[in-house]
Amino acid sequence: MDYGEFSKKELSEVLGIVHGATSCSTEAGLKSLLSGLKELVEAERAICALGNSEGRILKAVNLSYPEEWLTMYADGGFAGKDPVLLYNQDSLKPFFWSDSLRVYSESEHRGLMDDATEFGLRYGVSSGVKSPEKGVASIFSFSGERNSFTERHLKLLDM
């Protein structure tokens, strides 16, 4: 990757996040890292979660997603039909939410994303890490009402 396209400030912020991640052991620490990532990708909202291979969310750390949406999501069992979560299980790279809808385009997936839009979760980028031997995967999702996410944001998340 060519790092020359990033400012020294951006690279310093990425390095700080990476360094912080190596010693993060509390939810408060994770929220601090998530907040730094949110600012780096210029998102309005951020959340991260850990799930298992059956598509069940084991733990979520919410920075700024609407609580009403999260309650509706959990009560409706949306994790199994969320195109962003499903795509994240297949992807090894950061991606735009629109990429997930190209793969998971059935009406149930589109309907879920339409519902999310009503809560200000219209556009987004996500990234995660999988541990197949442990049967878990993480996801970090950043969203907003404006389509302001670019390839640059994907590259920053990739770092």
Let me know: does 125 contact 149? Beta carbons within 8 Å: yes
Task: Please give the average per-residue pLDDT across 102-127, as a whole number.
Answer: 94
* CA–CA distance, 64 with 40 (Å, rounded to integer): 15
Q: pLDDT value at position 131?
A: 85
In the block, tokens 């907003």 appear at 144
Q: pLDDT value at position 1?
A: 75
pLDDT at residue 90 above 90? no
In degrees rounded to 5, what are phi and psi of residue 151? Answer: -55, -35
pTM here is: 0.93
Task: Please give the average per-residue pLDDT across 73-93, as a whole number.
Answer: 91
Q: pLDDT value at position 123?
A: 97
